[in-house]
Structure 1
């Protein structure tokens, strides 16, 4: 019975750690860029676009498609960085736990 209580205590502790990591991730702001920094995007930990910076030299009528592509590329760059940061935080939280390889958190 003591083992069961210990397991329940560890589960509660893990849940609290997981909530703390989720809050930490939500507070993250990750920058992505494209075109050598001509377009920059900032995403929150919830994948919301918080900021968009565009170099004024890109505002030419002929270059609308290029600008659109750069915005998408900057967004995707920030998203990839955010996903990597989320994965790192999750790995730090679960370090030492007997979790099967390939199992993704959160469940």
Structure 2
């Protein structure tokens, strides 16, 4: 029993270190969301901070369409961050014997 507890503690420490490393990597990554066939792009980091927005000049005359495309590109970037985060974090729990339905706090 004592060995199992020590092993669990080591496993938890290792996982905590790996989670911290993964979170740092995610914070430093950049993703690009696109809309309108690339007419609008939004570059966002892993902390959901918008870094750059690029808009095709031909959209300047249609404000409603421009607003929709900026919204769509931003949402695309957010979804890409979510997907990347989920993939990275799921790799951390591989091989661990977690109870069924256990969800990590992310």
Q: Residue 100 of structure 1: CA displacement? A: 4.1
2:86 maps to 87
Return 79-88 or 4-13, whichever deviates more: 4-13
Q: Residue 102 of structure 1: CA displacement? A: 4.6
Q: RMSD of the alignment, in Å?
A: 1.5
Q: Residue 104 of structure 1: CA displacement? A: 3.2
Unaligned runs of at least 5 residues, structure 1: none
Q: Distance in 2 between matches of 1:67 and 1:106?
A: 36
Q: TM-score, normalized by length of structure 2?
A: 0.90
Unaligned runs of at least 5 residues, structure 2: none
Q: Distance in 1 between matches of 2:102 and 2:56?
A: 42
CA shift digits 1:64-88 (9 cap, x unpaired): 0110000000000111111000000
Please give the residue correspondences for 1:54-93 in structure 2 after superposition, counting only pairs within 5 Å. 54-60=55-61, 63-93=62-92
* Equivalent pairs, count: 105
Q: Distance in 2 between matches of 1:27 and 1:77?
A: 18
